[in-house]
Chains A and B, each alone.
Chain A
Amino acid sequence: MPQSGHRQPKASPDAATPASANVGVVDTQYCAFCVPPEELALESGERLGPITLAYETYGELNAAKSNAVLIVHALSGDAHAAGVAADDGRAGWWNNMIGPGKAFDTEKYFVICSNVIGGCKGSTGPSSANPATGKPYGLTFPFVTIGDIVAAQTRLLDHLGIERLLSVAGGSMGGMQVLEWMVAHSTRLASAIPIATAIKHSPQQIAFNEVGRQAIMADPNWRGGDYYDGPMPAAGLAVARMIGHITYMSDKSMAEKFGRRLKDERQFFKFTADFEVEGYLQYRGRSFVDRFDANSYLYITKAIDLFDASRGKKLGEMLKGASTKVLVIAFKSDWLYPAYQSQEIVRACKVAGLDATYCEIASSYGHDAFLLETDEETHLVKHFLERVTGSTQGGNK
């Protein structure tokens, strides 16, 4: 990860956490529920069941069951947020934020990371076997929404015996799940941390997702989504991922990372990857194909595009009466989820009279900053959670 030019928040004497502090080797766990005839009623009107949801946990649940923090992930994330995966040794996607002494301190909090339905990382999705046919669902998988994804997560909490979360946190699509939790399940939350996210997608954000979907569907191997017995629509999915990666970086972070450097001075005037940025995107696209399902990409991006935390009304009105403490974080160079969208969340909190903290972190990493600017995020999250813990234990101050 590029760390040059990285600023320490001056007010943060406690950000220094040894990089080795880690939750160790973790196994992904699986929770099964909604077995027919008790299927999950989806927002589309269809029903889904049985459902498997992949999740991981770090730290210990206290006796009062009051220290649980739910982490929710972005588009291509999974349940493996921290530690080292037992099977392949991979580090978790938010490993620098979750662990002993880190922002989500596993010595204080019981941290849960839940995967999403519709995905392909161990939870029920279009690549899962349809119990009616024994074959992968493909496009017969019902449309799922962020509301459905969060509804499935509430079942996971029921399974874990957790009535109320100390907090729910996530960036990007994870932030949308946080907003959904705030709107639909506010009684089960003491606090919420939406990061680099939006109440609803702008036309520009929908447009980028649509280009990704079109790239997948234009791949002849996609075959109407029924490709599981043959070659994957790898080329289409790779292009979708390449577009994604462009939107996750900033003009400045790309210039710093690649400049106009050439991969190979001798190969010129050919349609090969001349520039380093081209090689990088191609590599990112190719490696994504090995770990993600094209149909899941279609389903999840659609769920993101359809999401509207305000249900066409005003979010501030929806949040009235809640007592959730909110920490909203945005990043200056994030042009995919610009700060104005986070400020809309803040305005809704003001209207609803919620206790809110907002910071726009100075960063040049673009949307990726929510995974990279961990010193600043750690400072904000750590102190915020300490305050929330204090007020839940000591009554409302």
Chain B
Amino acid sequence: MNSGPLTLEHRAIVELVSAGSSVLDLGCGDGELLAALVNEKGARAQGIEISDQAIYKCVAKGLSVLHGDIDTGLPEYGDKSFDYVVLDQSLQQVKSPDTVLRESLRVGKWVIVGFPNFANLSARCQLFFKGRTPVTPSLPYEWHDTPNLHFLSISDFFEYCRRRKISIERSVFIGGGRRVRAFPNLLASVGIFVLSDGESGERPGEANEER
């Protein structure tokens, strides 16, 4: 499989997944992350993707991928039929994130969510000083051509998980091309969370990542 160098975000997700796991990647795009999970972690990987051109690229990487909509694509999967369900840069693009996340928590033992932080410093400055809708490296779209349907901050997500009783097993924050360890809601452009419904009692793979 021929995958280029991984983005920092994909690298962080690969490190969160324990070797030999089964992974369902919802909105897997060109399959860069899935291919890395197969190559580096020996993952049993399945992708779901809505773009046919992205499907062709995934197939060329030797991946199993289903052409479909993740808003409606999960009911057939049995409870906890995957170790991980990955929603990388796709949760903010689905029609009903609440339903997709609940279904993901049902289907996967753990859910890994990665999303752009709408409250990062650069976005705040653009909104506050220029009065413009933010366009940042993690939110690169103009208002009229964005695939994002929902805009959330890292603090929003913490609050959401608290209210939904979703347990956050781990979190990784990335901003300015490196890991962010303090004030993530201000400094991080991307937040990555490992979630569980708190029912299994198991812990996600201890891999090689500090808590």
Contact = CB atoms under 8 A, between A and B. Distances in A.
A280 B97 CA distance: 51
A316 B67 contact: no
A383 B52 contact: no
A383 B81 CA distance: 26
B46 interface: yes
A350 B65 CA distance: 12
B76 A11 contact: no
Contact of A356 (B38, B64, B81): B64
A211 to B, nearest CB: 33
Interface in B28-87: 38, 42, 44, 46, 52-53, 55-57, 59-60, 62-68, 76-78, 81
A267 B76 CA distance: 58
B76 A376 contact: no
B53 A11 contact: yes
A360 B67 contact: yes
Which of B63, B65, B68, B77 has the largest number of chain A CB atoms within 10 A? B68
A359 B77 CA distance: 19
A346 interface: yes
Which of B42, B44, B76 has the largest number of chain A CB atoms within 10 A? B76
Interface residues of B, number: 22
Contact of B62 (A316, A361, A362, A383): A383
A376 B56 contact: yes
A357 B60 contact: no
B64 A359 contact: no
Interface string B80-96: 01000000000000000
Interface residues of A, number: 29
Interface string A364-391: 0000000000001001100110110010
Nearest to B82: A353
A74 to B, nearest CB: 23
Contacts, number: 64
A351 B66 contact: no
Contact of A361 (B42, B52, B77, B81): B52
A316 B66 contact: no
A397 interface: yes
Contacts of B42: 397
Which of A9, A11, A362, A379 has the largest number of chain B CB atoms within 10 A? A11
Contacts of A11: 53, 56-57, 59-60
Contacts of A10: 53, 56
A347 interface: yes
Contacts of B44: 397
Interface in A309-364: 316, 325, 343, 346-347, 350-351, 353, 355-362
A379 B59 contact: yes
B76 A351 contact: yes
Nearest to A362: B52
A350 B77 contact: yes
Given A10-B53, A397-B38, A355 B60 contact: no
A386 B52 contact: no
Interface string A198-242: 000000000000000000000000000000000000000000000
Contacts of B38: 397
Given A357-B59, A379-B59, A386-B62, A9 B53 contact: yes
Nearest to A351: B76
B65 A357 contact: yes
Which of B38, B46, B66, B68 has the largest number of chain A CB atoms within 10 A? B66
A12 interface: yes
A379 B57 CA distance: 10
Given A316-B76, A358-B66, 9 more contacts: A10-B53, A355-B46, A357-B59, A357-B64, A359-B55, A359-B67, A384-B59, A386-B62, A397-B44
15 contacts: A11-B56, A11-B57, A325-B64, A346-B66, A351-B76, A353-B81, A356-B64, A357-B65, A357-B66, A358-B66, A359-B56, A362-B52, A379-B56, A380-B59, A387-B62
Interface of A: 9-12, 316, 325, 343, 346-347, 350-351, 353, 355-362, 376, 379-380, 383-384, 386-387, 390, 397
Interface of B: 38, 42, 44, 46, 52-53, 55-57, 59-60, 62-68, 76-78, 81
